[in-house]
């Protein structure tokens, strides 16, 4: 199966912009989705498709993709954005029906 690689930890100053990346061969064929998870809570979808936000997700969250790398950008990070972020996509290495998650990035807002 494919793998998606994320940096384990990233930090950002309050109000600044941060980019969280996700790398993997599957991303050449499929868009990544992004999930925010706060301690003790279930993940929440924040970005899907080319750059789509579910209802209720602030517009400071955006997504992009190039080659084998997908990125989640938070423009003007807020204290409440401190969380773990996971990417996922379809797994292109098999029957394309499976899914794969990245290892997650812990975002600290300073």
Is residue 44 close enough to count as binding other proteins by CB under 8 A? Answer: yes
How far is it, in rounded angstroms, from Cα 63 to Cα 87? Answer: 11
Number of chain positions touching other proteins (CB under 8 A): 21
Does the CA dihedral 30-100-46-73 come out positive or negative? negative
Burial class of 15 by CB neighbour count within 10 A (0 to 12, 13 to 18, 19+): exposed
> Cβ of 39: how many Cβ atoms within 10 Å?
7
Q: Closer to other proteins at the Cβ: 15 or 54?
A: 54
Rule CB under 8 A: choose which of 29, 48, 60, 68 binds other proteins.
48
Rule CB under 8 A: choose which of 61, 104, 107, 109 binds other proteins.
104
Chain residues in the site for other proteins (CB under 8 A): 1, 33, 35, 37, 42-45, 48, 54, 86, 88, 95, 97-104
């Amino acid at each position: 199966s494919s793998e998606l690689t994320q940096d384990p930890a990233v930090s950002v100053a309050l109000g600044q912009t941060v980019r969280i990346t996700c790398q993997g061969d599957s991303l050449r064929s499929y868009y990544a989705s992004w999930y925010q998870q706060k301690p003790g809570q279930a993940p929440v979808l924040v970005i899907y498709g080319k750059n789509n936000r579910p209802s209720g997700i602030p517009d400071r969250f955006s997504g992009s993709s190039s080659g084998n790398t997908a990125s989640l950008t938070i423009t003007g990070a807020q204290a409440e954005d401190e969380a773990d972020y996971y990417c996922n996509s379809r797994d292109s290495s098999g029957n394309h029906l499976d899914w794969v998650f990245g290892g997650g990035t812990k975002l600290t807002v300073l």
